[in-house]
Structure 1
Amino acid sequence: MFASIALRAALKSSAGVLRESGALCSAVTVKTCSSALLSGPRVSCVTGSFAVQPLVRHYARAAKKKKTGPESQLSDLPPTMLKMDYTAVPLAQTTDDLVKRLLSLELACHSEKLQLKKEQLIAKVQRDENDRSSVEVKVAILTTRIRNYQEHLQKHHKDKANKRRMLMAIDRRKKLLKHLRLVRYDAFEKVCEQLGITYTFPPEYYRRATRRWLAKKAFCIKVFKEVQKQKAEQRLKMKQSVVTTEAETAKTKAVESQ
């Protein structure tokens, strides 16, 4: 009995020593891990070694490239050019630089530049100086308007109203070019060359082949062949009747001559 009591006391004391040593080891590992985290990325602990990845901060990001769209139709207008209302005024050419800058295209609005561009295109295709209502002039005006709509829709692609106006102008120009091609082909070629227009022919008519349409087409072909066959028989009968009448007239003439 005394031996079992002494054994229990020895076990209790050894368990207490083991608990104290485990707590000491855990404190040591926590201290070493915290010191390693503060010092740098290299971390090694006594119980289960692991490594902490260094923090990556994206301070130097690549700059986004701006999208470069097609060149505008107004880019060939020099900023030193005078506005359309002041080109024929001789006093505007002799004024100082400040007034010239105010009267030039450098401070002009978009509508004034567009008006000047329209006049330039009209001057390329018009028949004479006073021509403002011919088909060529109408095509030049519509071309300026269509290109302006295209540049606007590249920036504001959800503008449905201007897209509809652009499509209507394109249809109108197609009709005018088609009429001009049929009436005056030389003027049609000149307009397309001067304005940089590529004329494309309209697509051929396409109809989806349904069973009903195929049956109707086969029936029409069959009826057409029957009609042609009947006409051929009628023509043959007409030829035979003509031959018989000619033979009868020849026989009557021969009998009368005898």
Structure 2
Amino acid sequence: MFANMALRNVLKSSAGVLRESGALCSALSVKPWTCGSTLLSGPRVSCVAGGFAVSPPVRHYARAAKKKKTGSDSQLSDLPPTMLKMDYTAVPLAQTTDDLVKRLLSLELASHSEKLELKREQLISKVQRDENDRSSVEVQVAILTARIRNYQEHLQKHHKDKANKRRMLMAIDRRKKILKNLRLVRYDAFEKVCEQLGITYTFPPEYYRRATHRWLAKKAFCIKVFNEVQKQKAEQRLKMKQDLALTDTEAAKTKAVEAQ
């Protein structure tokens, strides 16, 4: 019974507070269904007769558009769209046709593989030894360079493509081995290839090993054993020289005795 009476008193007091707040809103010449920002801070709250009602959340539809990442220029960007495809460059009739046919035969409507093939031929023509050269070391470097740059451009857009990343690393290792051998055999051709294709050759890092106590002790022991072995070999060589000298003197004595 006492609990019911206490609950009724609480409800009456809360109703009185709500009436006073509604009267305050009307006294401040505010619309009866809204409250001014001077009264409430935080989310917008509307004053309804005898209670408060929270307005629905505002949806931010007018968000700023995300800026696209501007990557480096493609190796195919220097190819003009008016250039003919590689299959039609040697055809004289393609130069005299109308504009519509030229547009169909040009790079404007060509696929990525056709543009890449034309770029590969351009790189090969810079370093090949003669017109019929298709298998020399310089040509192999040019083909690998076009392939590597194509993989790099693809990975800038699709950085999670692990298969193409693996192919790119394999091509880089292959080109590095070829350039290393070319640098040892023909240094002038190596410099020409790097200059014409824009390749920066970096030397491999020096061998580095972490110097632990166990490794240092093992290295000192190996050095000690090596020095001892060298001493033994030097003693053996000295003994062999002495034996040869003794045999030479004995042979000379025997010859002198025989001569007498």
The residue type equivalent to 2:160 in the other structure is K
Corresponding pairs, count? 230
Q: Tell me how far apart the structure 2 counterparts of residues 111 and 155 of structure 1 sit (CA, whole Å).
A: 17
Q: Tell me how far apart the structure 1 counterparts of residues 37 and 154 of structure 2 sit (CA, whole Å).
A: 58
| TM-score, reference length from structure 2 | 0.73
Between structures 1 and 2, the one with greater helix share: 1
Which residues of 2 match residues 50-199 of structure 1 at below 5 A? 50-52=39-41, 61-199=63-201
Q: Deviations over 1:194-250 (max 9, x none)?
A: 00011111122233344443332111111122233334555666788899999999x
**Secondary structure at the residue paired with 2:133?**
coil
Question: Which shifted more, 212-221 or 93-102?
Answer: 212-221
**Secondary structure at the residue paired with 2:30?**
helix
| TM-score, reference length from structure 1 | 0.74
Is 1:29 aligned to residue 24 of structure 2? yes
Q: Tell me how far apart the structure 1 counterparts of residues 22 and 117 of structure 2 sit (CA, whole Å).
A: 84
Q: How far has the Cα of 1:182 moved from its partner?
A: 1.1
Could you say which structure has the larger radius of gyration? 1
User: Does structure 2 conserve the Cα–Cα contact (< 8 Å) formed by 1:41 and 1:53?
Assistant: no
Indicate the residue corresponding to 1:13 in structure 2.
none
The RMSD of aligned alpha carbons is 3.7
User: Does structure 1 conserve the Cα–Cα contact (< 8 Å) formed by 2:30 and 2:36?
Assistant: no
Q: How far has the Cα of 1:26 moved from its partner?
A: 5.6
Q: Tell me how far apart the structure 2 counterparts of residues 181 and 125 of structure 1 sit (CA, whole Å).
A: 15
Q: How far has the Cα of 1:66 moved from its partner?
A: 2.0
User: Does structure 1 conserve the Cα–Cα contact (< 8 Å) formed by 2:183 and 2:190?
Assistant: yes
Relative to structure 1, the CA distance from residue 215 to residue 25 in structure 2 (aligned partners, 3 Å threshold; closer, same or farther) is closer
Is 1:203 aligned to residue 201 of structure 2? no
Structure 1 residue ranges without an equivalent (≥5)? 1-18, 44-49, 250-258
Q: Tell me how far apart the structure 1 counterparts of residues 100 and 143 of structure 2 sit (CA, whole Å).
A: 33
Q: Tell me how far apart the structure 2 counterparts of residues 220 and 241 of structure 1 sit (CA, whole Å).
A: 32
Percent identity over the alignment is 80
**Secondary structure at the residue paired with 1:35?**
coil
